[in-house]
C-alpha cells in the first residue's frame, strides 16, 4: 500500500528497490515496537486463564491478581509500587515531544504514520523521538537499578 500511495509516480525499474526498503523498514518498526512493549508493558494475553477453556475474564483475573498482591509480602508490594512510580516519573521527565511520541507509539500502539500525523511532524522525526525516549528511559532506569 505504501509503495502505491507514495511511489506510484516512480519509474517501474525503481519499484523493486523501493518495495524492499519499505518492507525492511516496516519489519524493523514492528520488531522495535514489540521489544519495547514487551519490556515495559504487560499484554492481556499474559492474563489468559490457566484452565485452557479459551475464555478470558479480565475482572476474574484482576481479582486473582489482587489476591496474589495480598499474599505478597509488604516489602514486595512496596518495591513493586516504587518501581512503577520510578518508571512513571522518568516518563514525565522526558522532553515533551519524546514523551508524546513514546506514549503514542508504545502505549497507544499507534504506527509511525498515525503518530506523525497526530504530532504534525515527519515519520523520521517520530522514529527519532521514540529512539531517544527509549534510550533515555533505559539509561535512567538502569541508573536506579531497574532492569526490565
Is it the case that residue 62 has pLDDT exceeding 60?
Answer: no
**Residue 9: inside a domain:** no
How many Cβ atoms from other residues are within 10 Å of residue 17's Cβ?
A: 10
Q: Above pLDDT 70, what percent of the chain?
A: 76
Q: Is residue 63 part of a domain?
A: no
Q: Which CATH number do you get for residue 145?
A: 1.10.10.10
90 occurs within a structural domain:
yes
Helix axes 123-143, 112-119, angle to 10 degrees: 100
Domain span at residue 126 reads 74-148
In a domain, 2, yes or no: no
CA distances to 7, 9, 65, 81 from 59, rounded to whole Å, are 47, 52, 10, 21
- The answer, yes or no, to whether residue 43 has pLDDT greater than 50, is no
Residue 148 lies in a domain: yes
> Is 67 inside a domain boundary?
no
Of 20-34, 38-52, 78-92, minimum mean pLDDT range: 38-52
* Domain-embedded: residue 118: yes
What helix, strand, coil percent values describe the chain, rounded to 5?
75, 0, 25
- Give the C-alpha separation, 81 to 122, whole Å: 37
DSSP class of residue 56?
-
- Domain assignment present for residue 23? The answer is no
Q: Are 56 and 47 in contact (CB under 8 A)?
A: yes
Question: What pLDDT is attached to residue 9?
Answer: 87
Rounded to an integer, the average pLDDT of 63-81 is 68
Domain count within the chain: 1
Q: At 68, is the pLDDT very low, low, confident or very high (cuts 50, 70, 90)?
A: low
Distance between first and last Cα of the chain: 36
Find where cell 509516480 sits. Answer: 9
pTM of the model: 0.50
Q: Residue 104 burial by CB count (10 A; 0-12/13-18/19+): exposed, middle or buried?
A: buried
pLDDT, mean of residues 109-121? 91
Amino acid at each position: 500500500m505504501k509503495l502505491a500511495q507514495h511511489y506510484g509516480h516512480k519509474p517501474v525499474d525503481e519499484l523493486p528497490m523501493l518495495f524492499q526498503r519499505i518492507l525492511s523498514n516496516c519489519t524493523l518498526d514492528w520488531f522495535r515496537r514489540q521489544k519495547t512493549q514487551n519490556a515495559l508493558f504487560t499484554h492481556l494475553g499474559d492474563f489468559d486463564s490457566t484452565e485452557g477453556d479459551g475464555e478470558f475474564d479480565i475482572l476474574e483475573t484482576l481479582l486473582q491478581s489482587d489476591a496474589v498482591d495480598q499474599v505478597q509480602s509488604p516489602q514486595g508490594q512496596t518495591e513493586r509500587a516504587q518501581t512503577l512510580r520510578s518508571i512513571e516519573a522518568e516518563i514525565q521527565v522526558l522532553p515533551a515531544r519524546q514523551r508524546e511520541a513514546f506514549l503514542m507509539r508504545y502505549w497507544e500502539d499507534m504506527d509511525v504514520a498515525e503518530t506523525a500525523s497526530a504530532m504534525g511532524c515527519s515519520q523520521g522525526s517520530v522514529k527519532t523521538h521514540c529512539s531517544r525516549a527509549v534510550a533515555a528511559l533505559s539509561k535512567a532506569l538502569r541508573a536506579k537499578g531497574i532492569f526490565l
